[in-house]
Amino acid sequence: MTRAMRSSLLCVLALVPVIAHADCLPPETPALSCTLSNGGQLALCWTPQQARLAYDKAPGGPAEVVVPLGDVTGLTSSDWASSTLISVGGSYEVYLSGQIAGLNLIWDGGGSTSYTCATGSVNGSLAELNEAAIYAPSSKED
């Protein structure tokens, strides 16, 4: 195997785990998933220890954020719910109101990016995740 072939193979293998995580993993509980209007996917999943958000910034451009479950702030009401993952560099707010859902990225240095879910593609609820996050320890607690 040539050096160039090894480098190419390593690059492909490095991408496989990120691409494979577009859905919830077996130990995770799905909170919300949808097809984004840009054609990508969004999945918010959680365990008693952490929350994981996987989404496509652009078709074929996956991104993933993992935070301790206690670093999720949530709001659940009768007509609106949101779960915000607070991470280094910004906050990732997943919101849901009926079949309207999406993701707002708010960068610490200013600015934001938004993604919306395609109509009819939203599955799940944020209420169970928000409830569990209340009782989980935050990484900011000493």
Bridge-partner residues for 61, per DSSP?
A: 58
State the pLDDT confidence band at 141, using cuts at 50, 70 and 90.
low
State the pLDDT confidence band at 73, using cuts at 50, 70 and 90.
very high
d(CA 142, CA 140) in angstroms, rounded, equals 6
Question: Could you tell me the end-to-end alpha-carbon distance of the chain, in angstroms, rounded to an integer?
Answer: 51
- Write down the CATH number for the domain with range 22-135: 2.40.128
Asked if 24 and 45 touch (Cβ cutoff 8 Å), the reply is: yes
The more confident residue out of 103 and 17 is: 103
- Kindly provide the b/e burial profile for residues 78-100, where b requires at least 16 CB atoms within 10 angstroms of the residue's own CB: eeebbbbbbeeebbbbbbbeeee
Q: Which DSSP string corresponds to 64-80?
A: EEEEEGGGEEEEE-SS-
Residue 93 structure tokens: 């707010």
Percent of the chain with pLDDT over 70: 82
Domain ranges of the chain: 22-135
